[in-house]
Amino acid sequence: MTAEIIDGKAFAAGLRERIAEAVPAFVEAAGRKPGLAVVLVGEDPASQVYVGSKGKATVAAGMNSFEHRLPETATQQELIAMVEQLNADDSVDGILVQLPLPEGMDDKAVIAAIDPAKDVDGFHVVNAGKLAVGEDALVPCTPLGCLMLLKDALGDLSGMDAVVVGRSNIVGKPMAQLLLGENCTVTLAHSRTRDLPAVVRRADIVVAAVGRAEMVKGDWLKDGATVIDVGINRLAPTEEGKKGRLVGDVAYEEALGHVKAITPVPGGVGPMTIAVLLRNTLVAAHARAGLAPPRDL
Ligand SMILES: NC(=O)C1=CN([C@@H]2O[C@H](COP(=O)(O)OP(=O)(O)OC[C@H]3O[C@@H](n4cnc5c(N)ncnc54)[C@H](OP(=O)(O)O)[C@@H]3O)[C@@H](O)[C@H]2O)C=CC1
Ligand SMILES: Nc1nc(=O)c2c([nH]1)NC[C@@H]1CN(c3ccc(C(=O)N[C@@H](CCC(=O)O)C(=O)O)cc3)C=[N+]21
């Protein structure tokens, strides 16, 4: 059996195209462009790259991109003051505070300061709670992107055994909620899980969101499983002066011999995260303007 490589990059490009096509109708109805504000604290080079590519994708979709940078030395109070200013700014539909925050800042307090209607990351407890009880919510971008790829690859997920490895509030937990919402039988595994290989072996669907390079081995996978690899791990460079290779949480080459379909790293989930961020911004913009949500996004 040859494994299908799930092309997240291509799917994300298609989604961004559909978003760009839906923007003019919003502009017509609301009399303004949707706007996304990204706040970056400190100088972390990886974060700077992400923020830069988010900004470019936002503008390419026909939306306004507002970038705000605070120095590494900024206080939590200053950051929250900036968030409150963005809450009050009517041209801003989405607010994303890039994580991780510098040492000493409390993620929870900062996220709590974001207006839930503008919380395009879906990290605010109001949105997490709505997702948990099955109400309309802004859903975290990475797990929603994973779900879109799964539905595209498999169609109806009803009744399937899904194992999510990793229980963070950002990826694993909302992923489990989404799969439950699709009527999967969901197992949420983590660092205290006993006999993880045996747990993973039961799964028709495996979502790996651990942050450990190539931890999930090929022989942990049931033949014919579909695998979504969320992990982004930079290996040590093999040559001086070069960047190390990017790998996922799944031993990709080994997995190819077992799976029905799998996402690569890079080119899998990563690009979906950014496309869904734009989608969430457009959804938030419609809701804030009192318009019906855009369809087919
Ligand atoms: N593609 C994208 O857009 C994104 C990619 N990522 C990537 O996804 C990965 C996960 O991110 P995130 O959820 O934020 O990470 P966290 O570090 O917040 O969570 C990791 C989870 O993995 C679990 N875990 C750690 N070690 C093991 C182990 N040996 N066996 C089983 N479970 C284990 C932890 O368990 P416990 O709770 O018990 O500690 C925890 O629940 C990272 O590689 C990150 O870079 C993240 C966000 C977006
Ligand atoms: N508030 C907040 N929201 C986030 O959504 C958020 C965040 N903070 N902090 C950091 C993580 C990580 N993240 C990624 C986005 C895109 C790629 C991506 O596009 N990756 C490319 C490769 C990029 C490369 O080559 O380095 C790929 O996988 O193909 C990866 C990771 C969003 N995050």
Q: State whether the beta carbon of 194 lies less than 6 angstroms from ligand 1.
A: no
Q: Give the residues of the chain that fall short of pLDDT 50.
A: none
In this prediction, residue 112 carries a pLDDT of: 98
Q: Is residue 218 part of a domain?
A: yes
What are the tens digits of pLDDT across the range 203-236? Answer: 999 999 999 999 999 999 999 999 999 999 999 9
Specify if 134 maps to a domain: no
ipTM comes to 0.98
Q: With beta carbons less than 8 A apart as the criterion, state whether 124 and 112 touch.
A: yes
Enter the pTM of the model: 0.98
Query: Would residue 107 show up in a list of annotated catalytic residues for this protein?
Result: no
Number of domains into which the chain is organized: 2
Q: Relative to the alpha carbon of 8, which ligand is closest?
A: 2
Q: What is the edge-to-edge ordering of all strands in the sheet holding 94-97? A: 64-70, 35-41, 94-97
Q: Strands 246-247, 233-234: parallel, antiparallel or unpaired by DSSP?
A: antiparallel
The answer as to whether 195 is a domain residue is yes
Residues ≥6 apart with Cβ < 8 Å to 242: none
295 is in an annotated binding site: no
Is 274 annotated in some ligand binding site?
A: no
Q: Which residue has the tokens 């994973």?
A: 146
Tens digits of residue pLDDT in 230-274:
999 999 999 888 999 999 999 999 999 999 999 999 999 999 999
Distance between CA atoms of residues 165 and 237, nearest Å: 27
What's 185's domain CATH number? 3.40.50.720
Q: How confident is the model at residue 138, as a pLDDT?
A: 98
The residue range of the domain holding 263 is 141-269
280 assigned to some structural domain:
no
217 and 171 in one domain?
Answer: yes
